[in-house]
Amino acid sequence: MKFSEQWLRSLCNPPLTTAELCDKLTMGGFEVESAVPVDASENPLPTATSGGTLLLDAGTRDDTEIDVNTTPNRADCLSLVGMAREVSALSGAALHSIPTAATAVAFASSRTLRVEDPASCPRFAARLIDGINAMSPTPEWMQRRLRRSGLRSISAVVDITNYVMMECGQPLHAYDDRLLAGTVVVRFARPGEQLPLLNGEILNLESDYLLVADDKKPLGLAGIMGGKDSGIGDDTTRVYLEGAFWNPAVIQGRMRRLGFVTDAGYRFERGIDFNGCAHAVERATQLILEICGGAAGPLTDAVSPPDLPRRDRVRVRTARVARLLGVKIERTRIADIFTRLGLEFSAEGDEFVVTPPSFRFDLSIEEDFIEEIARIFGYDAIPATLGAHAAYMLPEPECVRSLDVVKQQLVALDWQEIVTFSFVSSATEATLDPGVQPVRVVNPIASQLDVMRSSLLPGLLTTLKTNLNRQQTRVRVFELGRTFSRNGDRYAQPLRLGGLAYGSVAPEQWGDRLRNVDFFDVKGDLEILGGPRCLATQRGVHPALHPGRAAHVQLDGAVCGWLGELHPRLVRHFDLPHAPVLFELDAAALTKGALPAGKPVSTLPIVRRDIAIVIPEEVAAGTVLAALEAVRAPHVEAVRLFDVYRGPGLREGRKSLAILVLMQDTSRTLTDAEIDATVATLLRVVSDQFGGSLRS
């Protein structure tokens, strides 16, 4: 917020130099970004002949434009009154109020007001002012203060509403009463409504836009911008002056969606003083009558008390203050700080019961008030002491491994970790999965990041595109992050591990031919990741994956995710030369492990038998291997697949699996009869369960 130092000192004038004032504000939590003398800001190249002076009036001399970076939770300091309150609290200097007396009512007429949703507009203050001269010039002192606050002079009435906004923090709007038809209505937009804006744009209104309207048309976006039919002209003689309190929830996110920001909306979405509406209207009325002439009608102050923000009393314990700040502050000092801040409180022994004022939306819990105590007491006055710290060795169960270990395994397998936004585009989500219903973001940081991700796919694919655009044709990335879903009123945000492999299976080198990574390469890495537990895949369907090259991933028989090639339609949509291989797993399933169990190492030779079996094409090799392991044939140490054959010599619809069987006994050498009996047991399983046979 930018303002004139002279304007600030007219409300609170501490015995501090400009530099000391800026330092006081910075130490109080308001970073001063710049303090520029107005000679430099308004006259960048001042010159004078020898012995001459610059022709600047007293108001221009000895003033500084101060630009303060206010934090988002301190909307009360987006005004001169708010900054003066802070300077008074930080320095102890007296705070001078703005004299505003009730305006004499010269006529009885007023416009009827109807607020259809009091929760969105708990307070609406307004009045008619008749007989003004809209062509009256804005006084130089007002133009100067507005200019040094970064606002240009437009016309007397508009300048006055801007001046009161900067002074009190309450945005106002003045309507040409000739353009209003009947009752003033506060309501939400109706289907198909449009609003011509003051900037010439025609806005298609959505159902969650709150409007100020009359009986025939919308007049403006509540708290953001007026419409074309709400402006003041040179021939305006009768104005309808309005100052309302809009619920911040109906303002937040709307300007970002619209693509512009207004001074009024910037304040309303952070929360203004809901008890200051009528005061600001009175103040603006006083200035309009002084500058533009005219007469005022009665003030309408429509209030819905149940819908105003609650100001609950908070108990502040001095013992808690000492514990959090590490320094004991006397009760009398705490009481003085609360008084300086304008907080209502009562003392009950060593505790205070404090009521947040209507202009402080950031005060709601005990810690908020303790932070205020520290701020006004002075951060530099709190000694830096080292607190006692006791370290404890926490137990680490052997059957649970950390996700850091999982990530280290992937890095060792030549994968790189990425971190992407949890916010994604709803269009991308719908493209990847047309049936998904993502969680919408109420206040998105950008218009294209309007939903929470339901999978890690968007971030992985965006990273792939970024790399390909920079001629990086081999990509192996993974991300550990949360995904978001909703079931009725319940939300879930499970932690997932996702990965994408694209390009050659290994970096280019002389010892091996180049080939692109495939489903089984990634499956092999996942088997290492899942070890020593049994990781298997079973054919499945996923909307983002190739219908014939997708599978569910199982750990110890329980489905924990999916693996497969990107669907051909998505390969075309993302303009990729060929399909990447992707996976996404439940991170919690990967942290489960098994206690290591030892067994003796045999000194006797191991026996190997290779068997080739013919089975129907639709039977998965993994299913066969699982069945052979489940039978627990005597002496079998391992059963592994090492080849698959399809082609001449086999009937159509059949395939041949070459399976390695390793057998061993720890106490004696196996006989041929025992070996043959074990092989026969395995072949019987193939025949009985899958209709398979030994390949001749």
pLDDT beyond 60 at 120: yes
In the chain, % of residues over pLDDT 70: 97
Q: Helix, strand or coil for residue 24?
A: helix
Range in 84-88, 113-117, 512-516 with the lowest mean pLDDT: 512-516
CA distance 413 to 637: 27
Is residue 101 very low, low, confident or very high in pLDDT (cuts 50, 70, 90)? confident
Q: Rounded mean pLDDT of 631-648?
A: 90
DSSP secondary structure of 412-475: HTT-EE----SEE-HHHHHHH-TT--PPBPSS-SSTT--EE-SSSHHHHHHHHHHHHTTT---E
pLDDT beyond 80 at 387: no
Is residue 201 very low, low, confident or very high in pLDDT (cuts 50, 70, 90)? confident
CATH number of 314-378: 3.30.56.10
Contact 265, 209 (CB under 8 A): no
pLDDT beyond 90 at 400: no
314-378 has the same fold as 2-91: yes
pLDDT beyond 50 at 47: no
pLDDT of residue 43: 55
Is residue 60 very low, low, confident or very high in pLDDT (cuts 50, 70, 90)? low
CATH number of 113-307: 3.50.40.10
Summarised one tens digit per residue, pLDDT across range 416-460 is 999 999 999 999 999 999 988 899 988 888 888 999 999 999 999
DSSP secondary structure of 183-228: -EEEEEPPTT-EEEBTTS-EEEPPTT-EEEE-SSSEEEETTTEEBG
Summarised one tens digit per residue, pLDDT across range 265-294 is 999 999 999 999 999 999 999 999 999 999
pLDDT beyond 50 at 51: no
CA distance 690 to 674: 24
pLDDT of residue 600: 76
CATH number of 607-694: 3.30.70.380
pLDDT beyond 70 at 316: yes
Q: Rounded mean pLDDT of 50-62?
A: 49
Domain boundaries, the chain: 2-91, 113-307, 314-378, 403-591, 607-694
Parallel, antiparallel, or unpaired for β 173-176 and 202-204? unpaired
pLDDT beyond 70 at 357: yes
Summarised one tens digit per residue, pLDDT across range 591-626 is 887 777 777 777 888 899 999 999 999 888 888 988
Global pTM reads 0.64
Six token digits for residue 18: 């400009």
Q: Rounded mean pLDDT of 36-63?
A: 56
Q: What share of the chain is helix, strand, coil (3-state, %, to 5)?
A: 30, 25, 45
Summarised one tens digit per residue, pLDDT across range 548-582 is 899 999 988 889 999 999 999 999 999 999 999 99
Six token digits for residue 95: 């705070």
pLDDT beyond 50 at 49: no
Summarised one tens digit per residue, pLDDT across range 136-195 is 999 999 999 999 999 999 999 999 999 999 999 999 999 999 999 999 999 999 998 999
At which residue do the structure tokens 């303009």 appear?
Answer: 575
Parallel, antiparallel, or unpaired for β 344-348 and 184-188? unpaired
Which residues, in sequence order, are CB contacts of 435 under 8 Å at separation 6+?
543
Instruction: Give the residues across from 113 on adjacent strands.
Output: 184
pLDDT of residue 98: 87
Q: Helix, strand or coil for residue 491?
A: strand
CA distance 428 to 452: 11
pLDDT beyond 60 at 48: no
Q: Which amino acid is at 596?
A: P
CA distance 476 to 124: 58
pLDDT beyond 70 at 40: no
Burial 245-274 (b: 16+ CB within 10 A, else e): bbbbebbebbbbebeeebebbbbbbbbbbb
Parallel, antiparallel, or unpaired for β 113-115 and 218-221? unpaired
Contact 84, 18 (CB under 8 A): no
Six token digits for residue 177: 């009463």
Is residue 45 very low, low, confident or very high in pLDDT (cuts 50, 70, 90)? very low
Six token digits for residue 693: 């046979």
pLDDT of residue 56: 43
Domain 403-591 has CATH 1.20.58.60: no
In the chain, % of residues over pLDDT 90: 72
pLDDT of residue 305: 95
pLDDT beyond 60 at 52: no
Q: Helix, strand or coil for residue 476?
A: strand
Summarised one tens digit per residue, pLDDT across range 1-23 is 999 999 999 999 999 999 999 99
Summarised one tens digit per residue, pLDDT across range 322-356 is 999 989 999 999 999 999 999 999 999 889 999 99
Sheet of strand 636-645: strand arrangement: 636-645, 654-663, 607-616, 693-694
Report domain 2-91's class: alpha beta
Six token digits for residue 430: 């719908």
Chain mean pLDDT for the chain: 91
Summarised one tens digit per residue, pLDDT across range 286-303 is 999 999 999 999 999 999
Instruction: Give the residues across from 64 on adjacent strands.
Output: 37
At which residue do the structure tokens 């009950």 appear?
Answer: 348
CA distance 270 to 249: 9
Which helix or strand (DSSP H or E) is residue 244 part of? strand 238-245
